[in-house]
Every structure is written in structure tokens, then in C-alpha cells.
Structure 1
Amino acid sequence: MLRSCAPRLRTLGALRGLTGGARPAVGDAGPALLIPQGFSANGVTGSIRLEIPSIRDWTESWSKEIRLLFDQFMKKCEDGSWKRVPSYRYISPQDSKPTKEEGQMSRARIFSRSYDDGLGFEFVMFHNDVEKRTVCFFQGGPHLQGPSGLLHGGALATMIDVTGGVTAVMTGEFVMTANLNINFKRPIPLGSVIVINSQIDKVEGRKFFVSCDVQSVDEKTLYSNATGLFISLDPEKK
């Protein structure tokens, strides 16, 4: 059964304009994208609001290790070979910004951005168009613990799914995850920084076959590898 993954929403042109480039000062407010497309959610058709976290949401709880990796790849963005992938907290219709009075759906947030800073998923992604490859630097917070002192396997599966989905999205169209096969090889210490590499292996029509590996920063430890199948949806059914 298909399940939702990071939608492209026909916004790659806008996304590319927000990736890379100069880094905002800490504390700057994150921008919000308004996409005037025929997107329908719960019967609401019209523009969509994509809220991008401020740079404060990205950096203050990061370790020095993930900040160093971030800075290294931001330098690679300067020549256009790599692009920083924006991250969103929620997607909602333009004219109905979530409020507490609007019910449960109005409070919905993107799962990987639903924790307070430093407690859950701390990550940043960079994509290379030519290589069709995405690199994610991920640091799991204390609320993602499984066995004592170790990252929960489901949290890692989430990040593999998100990274693989982004790779397919940046390469193709609106996609959903059809299949994900993960091999867990070694436990990951909670709070440590890991590198998730994802790439497109082949494309067959609307099918995007993606492979992924999860390594330590020094590339000496392989924590996991995975393969995934992502499907580009029929434009008439989006």
C-alpha cells in the first residue's frame, strides 16, 4: 500500500531558489512559500502554505560535528553543484493558518519536525542534481531512544524514508513510498551524528528505485543499508 512521503508539490523551481546561497544569521525568521497550485487536502482546494523553519531551528541544538558538516556542504553549494534542501514544519491551505480552535488537523505538523529543538530529529539535507544523490546529516535527540542509550530503529527508518523520498522528489515528481527494505547492521548511539547517503539507481516510467546507506561520519562504520521504491503519482490523480 502506498503511504505518504515528502511531496514535490510542483515546487522544485521555488525550492531550488531557496537552497544553497548565503546562510542567514542565527535568529532570522524562516520564509514561507505560497504555492498557487490545484492542491486538494481534506476537500480544500487552492494555494498551499509551506512553512520553512528559521535557521535557529536548524542549528542551536546541533553538535559541533554536524555544524562542521553543514558548513562544509554550504561551501559546496556556492558553485551550484550541491543544493541545500529546505525543510518544512507544516503544509496547510493559504487562508487557514493552523489555530488551536480549528481542531486536530489544524495542529498537524510534519512528523520529522514535530519535536522541540534538540529533542527529536535534527538533520539537514543536500542534493546533487547531476549525481542524483542526497546526503543527510542526522543527529537523533533523547526522545528518539529505543534500547537504553541507543537510537530507536523506527526513528532511523523514518530518516531513511525521508532521505530516499527527497532523492526521488528532487529527481522526479510528486512521489509516495511503495516499498522500503532496511537492513539494520549495528546500533547507533543516541545523540551521535550519522551520514545517510541516498541515490537513484534506476527509473522505470513512474517507478524510482533508490538505494541508501547509513554510516558514521568517518565512514568506518556501516549502521544500515536500504532499498526503496517510490512511485510518481498520475498527475490527474494528485
Structure 2
Amino acid sequence: MGLLLWGSCPRAAPPGSLSPPVVGRCGVPRGSLLGVLGVPHSLLGAHRHTCMHTHLLTVCLSRSIQAAGSQLGQSKDYALPNASWSQDMLDLYNRFLDMTKDGLWKRIPSYNNILDHIPGKLTYEKRKDTRLFLRSIDAEGAGFEYVMFLNTSEKRVVCLFQPGSYLEGHPGFAHGGSIATIIDSTIGSCAISVAGKVMTANLSIDYVNPVPLGSVVLVDSKADKVEGRKVFLSCKMQSVDGNTLHAEATGKDVLRAQKQQASCQ
């Protein structure tokens, strides 16, 4: 689980890298807000017909960014839109991307190899036959489609998650293990932003309502307190309209001992 958490560690963009595209919200009114996230209830389902061009534009721009990054020798960032993302997923992505403009929120890049997330020199080489668990499926939309946003001042990480067909448990719904995985990775990213290199020590989840495959949910995590090497966190998984609670979780992450970290410096 510890390596999984590293996989979401925020990393400064390398020189010459390109920023993700910023696409407007198609004139969707702000309306009421979903908690303190600033996501309007009216955002989803509004102006779908007029937003189809936005979907295509966002995906095309993301592919152009990936191609440019590849030419610069950069690893592929999987936390950018692709053709499998639903309109709901794109609407939320663009909403949160707009929230990064004032610097309070930051999009976290995501790669399929754990070593691409760890800055600094390493005492071991990257292996081509290993992959980060959440990015182990090649087919777009079949596995974990997600993107995370970090708010350092609030000690929060919010994950937009769209489970694919390869994550099925009960027919038509995401497997409980996939729910636990995305929660673990989200709270782990939150713990990393607060304390550095950590490993999961405890994770307790209450499953409330199943998550339909292909739907979009918000995984909202927060670091509640830090005691020595221990980081205590809480998390909720909700529907985007805030009306359905899918899961609640609490976790405890532990800062890796200096001796353990030495091999990764």
C-alpha cells in the first residue's frame, strides 16, 4: 500500500512541460453549491448538446499535450482527459481546473510507474515490467479513470473517479476492493502532502451505497490531525450532486522511518 500512496505524490512539472488545457464551463450557471467544493448541483446534465464540442476539444487538446510531452521524453500523464471520460467527468474536471487559477488548488499528475512520482536520485533502476496498480490497464475507460486535486491550505485532496467495466463486482457496480483502492490512494495523497513519504497503517471503510460502473463520484479526503509520525485522515465518497453517500472512511498513515527512506534519496 505504501507504494500506491507514493503514486499520487505531487511533483513539480519538469522544464518545458505543458500545462493541461483550460476549457470553459459552457455557460452553466453556478447555482447552489455542493458543500464547500464549489461544485454547482446544476452543473451536470445542463447544456449537454451544446457541450459536445467541448468534450471533443478537451480530449483533442489533452492528446496534443501527451504527444508533445512524449517528444520531450516525459512520461505519460494519465490524469488528463481521454475519450472514455463522460460529460459529467469532463464538466467536473473543468470546474476544478478553473479553481486552480488562484493557486489554492493544484492538479496532481499521475503516471503508470511508481518511480516517475519520486523526485531525486534512486538507488535502483526503473523496471519496464512493473506498473502502478491503478494505471495497470491499457484500455481507456476500462479501469480506474481518475484525477486528483490538492488544496494544501485545507489539507485536502479531492479525487474525481469514474470506475470502468473491468472493476465490476456485483453486476453493474464497482467492486468493493476498487472502492478501497481509490480511497486509499486519495487519503494517501493527502497524507503525503502533509507529512511526506508515508505508508498506510490502518484503513476502515463503511460501504453505504454501491457505485454504478461508469458513474462519476467525488472522493473527498482531509488530514484531521498529525501526532508525531502518524497522520489521521477522513474521507467521504459521494455522488456529484451530493445526494448519495457511497462510502465513508477513516485512515491512519505513518511516516516512513529515516532508515527506510534512505534508499530512495
- Indicate whether 1:79 and 2:115 are aligned: no
Q: Which residue of 1 aligns with 2:77?
A: 53
1:178 is the counterpart of 2:176:
no
Corresponding residue of 2:5:
6
Instruction: Write the letter of the residue equivalent to 1:53.
Output: D
Q: Is the 8 A contact 2:197 2:256 kept in 1?
A: yes
Question: Number of residue pairs matched?
Answer: 212
Aligned positions of 1:109-128 closer than 5 A: 109-115=131-137, 116-128=139-151
Give the drift of 1:181: 0.2
1-structure distance, mates of 2:108, 2:214: 22
Instruction: Give SS of 1:5's match.
Output: helix
- AA aligned to 1:196 is V
Q: Contact 1:5–1:175 at 8 Å: present in 2 too?
A: no
The offset of 1:71, in angstroms, is: 0.3
1:133 partnered with 2:156: yes
In 1, Cα distance between equivalents of 2:101 and 2:17: 10
* Unmatched 5+ stretches in structure 1: 33-48, 99-105
1:26 is matched by which residue type in structure 2?
Answer: S
Cα deviation, 1:22-61, whole Å, max 9, x if unaligned, reads 52822122748xxxxxxxxxxxxxxxx9834267x63221
What RMSD, in angstroms, separates the aligned Cα atoms of the two structures?
3.0
Instruction: Flag the 1:123–1:22 CA change in 2: closer, same or farther, 3 A.
Output: closer
Partner secondary structure for residue 214 of structure 2: coil
Do the aligned partners of residues 206 and 96 (structure 1) sit closer, same or farther apart at CA in structure 2, a change above 3 Å counting?
closer
Give me the whole-angstrom Cα distance separating, in 2, the residues matched to 1:144 and 1:12.
26
Unaligned runs of 5+ in 2: 23-60, 116-121
How many angstroms does 1:94 deviate by? 9.9
Percent of residue pairs identical:
39
Asked whether the 8 Å contact 1:19–1:83 carries over to 2, the reply is no
Shift of the 91–123 alpha-carbon distance from structure 1 to 2, 3 Å rule, reads same
Tell me how far apart the structure 1 counterparts of residues 202 and 15 of structure 2 sit (CA, whole Å).
Answer: 31
* Runs of 4+, deviation exceeding 6 Å: 16-20
Match of 1:29 in 2: 66
Cα 1:50–1:132 change in 2 (3 A) is: farther
Aligned-pair distance for 1:14?
2.1
In the TM superposition, what are the counterparts of 1:167-206 in structure 2 within 5 Å?
Answer: 167-206=190-229
What amino acid does structure 1 have at the position aligned with 2:200?
T
Residue number in structure 2 paired with 1:66: 89
CA displacement, residues 195-215 of structure 1 (integer Å, 9 cap, x when unaligned):
000000100011010100000
TM-score by length of 2: 0.71
Contact 1:135 1:196 in 2 (8 A): yes
